[in-house]
């Protein structure tokens, strides 16, 4: 290892002795110790996991292909739009296949399976994802229109697409949810977390969200994995659609995948700061006021405020 570190120091012209040989050695020991504890093989020798940086570039390319004259390159013209979309999609889908392949290979190794079928599975996932992009574009058009209709400050649908963090988050979610459903949850989760870090909006890729979804302002919104949201639903900042409790199995570990987040039916509005917890149902057309803490189902057409909850408690 010293034979590797010394040339690196010389090549970089480091001015000080940072004791790199010792630090690199200790980091090597720490990695090996962690791999032994996790039962990880040291024989692979290559990257096992999808790359956040690669997926960020892929999503940027997909956004350009979905909305070329608004999210594509600044010098693009309509005459070359189809060529750009085809070229960009080809590169993006090839790159996505590489990330999907990494996840499928990693999952196969964890199960102890022979990964002979990984390549065919990868191609099927990415091909079906690509075929679904026109449907996703239509869903996103409905989301953009809902934001324009729902915000009096919006001057155009173009402003909404270019500027609104809620639209950025839902674009990422529509892409991530499709991949999550296809069986690559790690790739999907990374895409969702890219949007989370960029917008402050945390949508788990497992959440099911209908058309015409609008998050206004958006910072601090949290939507859990098993949430089901209908059509034309509007949320404001700091809304949480979360779990009330986490069931524990006989082995003492949290049970995974249980329905534990709210069902929000069509045409519901949930105002800023509301916290809605558990597998409850918010009925069609209901309005949930700001800062409400809600753990029970709400009938269709209800108007729930802090005052009404205090009255019910009395």
Together in a domain, 192 and 60: yes
Residue 271: inside a domain: yes
Residue 162 — pLDDT band, cuts 50, 70, 90?
very high
Together in a domain, 195 and 65: yes
Together in a domain, 185 and 228: no
Together in a domain, 147 and 112: yes
Residue 26: inside a domain: no
Residue 199: pLDDT over 60: yes
Together in a domain, 225 and 114: no
DSSP state of 254: B
Together in a domain, 228 and 303: yes
Q: pLDDT of 267-304, one tens digit each?
A: 999 999 999 999 999 999 999 999 999 999 999 999 99
Residue 38: inside a domain: no
Alpha helices by DSSP H, the chain:
2-12, 20-37, 52-66, 68-71, 81-111, 118-131, 133-150, 157-163, 165-182, 185-199, 306-313
Residue 308: inside a domain: yes
Place of tokens 């034979």: 3
Residue 118 — pLDDT band, cuts 50, 70, 90?
very high
Residue 42: pLDDT over 80: no
What is the reported pLDDT for 8? 56
Together in a domain, 267 and 314: yes
Residue 4: pLDDT over 80: no
Q: Which has the higher per-residue pLDDT, 114 or 244?
A: 244
Give pTM, 2 decimals.
Answer: 0.89
Q: What is the CATH number of the domain that holds 235?
A: 2.160.10.10
CB 260, CB 226: distance < 8 Å: yes
Q: pLDDT of 16-26, one tens digit each?
A: 788 888 999 99
Q: Print the domain residue range for 170.
A: 49-200
* Poorest-pLDDT segment among 1-15, 88-102, 117-131, 226-240: 1-15
Place of tokens 């390159």: 73
CB 125, CB 183: distance < 8 Å: yes
**Mean pLDDT computed over every residue of the chain:** 91
CB 120, CB 143: distance < 8 Å: no
Together in a domain, 176 and 269: no
Together in a domain, 53 and 194: yes
Together in a domain, 68 and 154: yes
Together in a domain, 90 and 156: yes
Integer Cα distance of 220 and 270 in angstroms:
14
Together in a domain, 79 and 152: yes
Integer Cα distance of 36 and 104 in angstroms:
22
Count of domains forming the chain: 2
Token digits of residue 171: 């674009």
């Amino acid at each position: 290892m010293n034979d590797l570190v010394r040339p690196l120091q010389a090549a970089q012209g480091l001015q000080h002795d940072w004791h790199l040989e010792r630090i690199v050695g200790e980091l090597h020991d720490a990695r090996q110790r962690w791999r032994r504890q996790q039962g990880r093989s040291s024989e692979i020798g290559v990257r096992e996991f999808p790359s956040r940086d690669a997926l960020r570039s892929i999503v940027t390319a997909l956004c350009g292909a979905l909305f070329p004259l608004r999210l594509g390159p600044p010098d693009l013209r309509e005459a070359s739009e189809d060529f750009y979309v085809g070229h960009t999609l080809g590169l993006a889908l090839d790159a996505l296949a590489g990330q999907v392949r990494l996840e499928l290979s990693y999952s196969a190794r964890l199960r102890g399976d022979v990964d002979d079928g990984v390549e065919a599975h990868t191609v099927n996932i990415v091909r079906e994802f690509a075929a679904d992009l026109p449907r996703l574009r239509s869903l996103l058009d409905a989301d953009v229109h809902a934001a324009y209709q729902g915000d009096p400050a919006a001057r155009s649908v173009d402003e909404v697409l270019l500027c609104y963090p809620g639209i950025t988050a839902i674009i990422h979610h529509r892409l991530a949810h499709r991949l999550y459903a296809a069986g690559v949850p790690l790739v999907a989760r990374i895409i969702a977390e890219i949007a989370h870090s960029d917008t402050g909006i945390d949508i788990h890729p497992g959440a099911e969200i209908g058309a015409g979804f609008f998050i206004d302002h958006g910072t601090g919104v949290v939507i859990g994995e098993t949430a089901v949201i209908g059509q034309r639903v509007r949320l404001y900042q700091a809304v949480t659609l979360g779990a009330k409790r986490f069931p524990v199995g006989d082995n003492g570990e949290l049970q995974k995948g249980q329905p534990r987040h709210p069902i929000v039916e069509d045409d519901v509005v949930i105002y800023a700061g509301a916290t809605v917890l558990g597998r409850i149902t918010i009925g069609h057309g209901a309005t949930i006021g700001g800062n409400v803490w809600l753990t029970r189902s709400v009938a269709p057409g209800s108007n729930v405020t802090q005052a009404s909850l205090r009255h019910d408690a009395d």
